[in-house]
Structure 1
Amino acid sequence: MAKRRTVSNPLALAVLAELTIEPMHPYEMGRRLKEQGKDRNIKYNRSSLYMVVEQLRKAGFVAERETVRDTQRPERTVYALTEEGRAELDDWMRELVAEPQHEYPAFGVALCLLAALPIEESADLLGRRLEALDERIDATRAQLHEVAGTDVHPMFVIEEDYALALLRAERRYTENLVAQLRDPEFGRTLREYLGRTE
């Protein structure tokens, strides 16, 4: 079972991880997260990033290191990871890696309510989803192929490899579901079932 965290936003975990590299200010953290493509997995904007850094500071996981003044930019506070922050990062990462968590993906919501739509329409909509999945699979493959030709270590793109595996699995599942929905026998048995439950 997942622990109750003082700061539970996934962005907080990303901030803690970034600060293991070196102390930095939130603007730099955001720039690096975007540059590394982490924004594809961790939802945030500039204000939420500053808010999370403040929550981490209050929790004692990060501390102000210094305030930097640049003539062209406003004053910026540089934050560093504390010992407590490092312990929280390690504990949180170990939990996320080792223990499967129950998630609530939007497609799961749609599937549990799919009977609200006519079977034919569901099959057509899922067909459109298959096309969209194919586009995403192609784009992710291209991204991984591009990285393969560089000196970036595969460890730093494993989330894209995982995303590709999920997309492929969802595509297989969706293709099978479309075939099932288009099977006349499936529609007949569903109508019979609905007739019994009315």
Structure 2
Amino acid sequence: MASKRRKLSNPLALTVMVALTERPMHPYEIAQTLRRQGKDQSTKINYGSLYTVVQNLEKHGFVEITDVQRQGKRPERTLYGLTDAGREEMTEWLSDLLALPAREYPIFETALSLMGVIQPDEVARLLRERLAKLEVEAAGVRGGLEKLYETVPRLFLVEVEYQLHMIEAQVEWVGGFLNEIHTGSLDGVDAWRRFHETGELPPEFAELQDPT
């Protein structure tokens, strides 16, 4: 299965369409629903731009106005519902995300790729700081999950399980990497140290810069 180019790429648009499978809603009600369901823990949700997202969904025919309500002197409330085209787009988009791995470029990977400009012992100190925070975060998520399991079916907690798994995997990797720096078993760590001691690029690193 190949992923096709989407008319909309903001994951919030997909989250809104899924919310509208329940019933037509006003954008403010959509925001309340997403917050109540904890979707802000798994999707970057900018509630200020939610109205724009809904308008874009309407522009592309994925949602439509189903009703306009007025209660007393309150402003009119426009309710939006999912169209057949929107349901099809939602299903295809979600299927692609589940089936096809995507390169996401996490910012931590960027930092790791550039860390050579910082002295190894300082990198180790910074990573120990990160590791401590990750361990606290993992403990918090783990405790929260155990509490949620008492009242919420696991089906609705799988994204939190995945978050915990990824945090724990990062804890394991960072801990192992720190040990390699500490013991000197990391391939290239001696040249890394020499670079910061002398200010000159070691020959083995220079060769990587200019393989010709």
Please list the CA deviations of residues 11-36 of structure 1 after superposition, one character each: whole Å capped at 9, or x if unmatched: 00001100111111111111111111
Contact 2:24 2:82 in 1 (8 A): yes
Partner of residue 129, structure 2: 128
Structure 2 counterpart of 1:174, which letter? V
Partner of residue 176, structure 1: 176
Over 3 Å counting, the alpha-carbon distance change for 1:66 and 1:122 in structure 2 is same
Query: TM-score, normalization: structure 2?
Result: 0.88
Over 3 Å counting, the alpha-carbon distance change for 1:2 and 1:113 in structure 2 is farther
Q: Shift of residue 191 of structure 1? A: 4.3
Partner of residue 14, structure 1: 15
Query: CA–CA distance in 1 between the matches of 2:114 and 2:98?
Result: 30
Structure 2 unaligned segments of length 5 or more: list them.
196-200, 207-212
Contact 2:27 2:51 in 1 (8 A): yes
Partner of residue 188, structure 1: 190
Query: CA–CA distance in 2 between the matches of 1:2 and 1:159?
Result: 22
Structure 2 counterpart of 1:175, which letter? G
Query: CA–CA distance in 2 between the matches of 1:73 and 1:138?
Result: 45
Over 3 Å counting, the alpha-carbon distance change for 1:33 and 1:167 in structure 2 is same
Partner of residue 82, structure 1: 83
Deviation larger for 139-148 or 118-127: 139-148
The root-mean-square deviation of aligned C-alpha atoms, in Å, is 1.6
Partner of residue 138, structure 1: 139
Contact 2:116 2:192 in 1 (8 A): no
Query: CA–CA distance in 2 between the matches of 1:181 and 1:140?
Result: 29
Query: TM-score, normalization: structure 1?
Result: 0.94
Number of residue pairs matched? 197
Q: For 2:202, what is the secondary structure of its paired residue?
A: helix
Q: Shift of residue 173 of structure 1? A: 0.5
Identity over aligned pairs, percent: 39
Structure 2 counterpart of 1:162, which letter? Y
